[in-house]
Amino acid sequence: MKNTFNSIKFATACVALAILSFSCTKAVEETTETTEVAKTDMVAVKAEIQTLEEGFAKADNERNAAAIAAFYADDAQSLSNNRPTIIGKAALLKDIEAGIAKRVKGSTIAFEVSDVFGDENQVTEVGKSTVKDSTGKVTYTGKYMAIWEKRDGKYVCIRDIGNDDVKEK
């Protein structure tokens, strides 16, 4: 009788383990399927960010401070080269206006997105900038990172940092 009881306990334990194993495997399969569906098309995101950067450069080259500031979130922060952090869109607008006032007449800037990573809601961009004088000669280059966040269906910059490359002699 004792052996029969032990056999029943053993069989019950085996059935319970099999059910548990099957349900765990099923949960893992469902999680994997859900994750695969949610992948972000980073090629498309990179193209979208490049389009934003082209609009940013256009506004910058037109010396339109308000249009440049429109790319930033109200709570954005900019970590400029050799300067304190600028916090908030109002402070950014003031800084952009001061920067435009110092720009050499006829100079232009362009931005090239090198890489993006993240997901469709928040993207970190790595890129390079090129400034040319009125004759088209490159006067300096730099690199930057920007974090874009999708708010109300469009990307706005929430953080950026950049610095100039060392000028070659």
- Gap between the Cα atoms of 127 and 149, Å rounded: 17
> What pLDDT does residue 82 have?
83
Of 24-28, 135-139, 155-159, least confident by mean pLDDT is 24-28
CA proximity to 123, closest of 54, 42, 69 = 42
Residue type, 76: A
- Gap between the Cα atoms of 108 and 131, Å rounded: 6
Q: Which is more confident, 133 or 83?
A: 133
Give yes or no for residue 12 having a pLDDT over 90: no
Of 42-46, 54-58, 165-169, least confident by mean pLDDT is 165-169
> What pLDDT does residue 124 have?
97
Q: How large a percentage of the chain has pLDDT more than 90?
A: 70
Give yes or no for residue 147 having a pLDDT over 80: yes
Q: What is the pLDDT of residues 32-53, one digit of tens each?
A: 444 454 688 899 999 999 999 9
Q: What is the pLDDT of residues 91-108, one digit of tens each?
A: 999 999 999 999 999 999
Residues facing 147 on adjacent strands: 124, 159
Mean per-residue pLDDT of the chain: 84
Q: How large a percentage of the chain has pLDDT more than 70?
A: 76
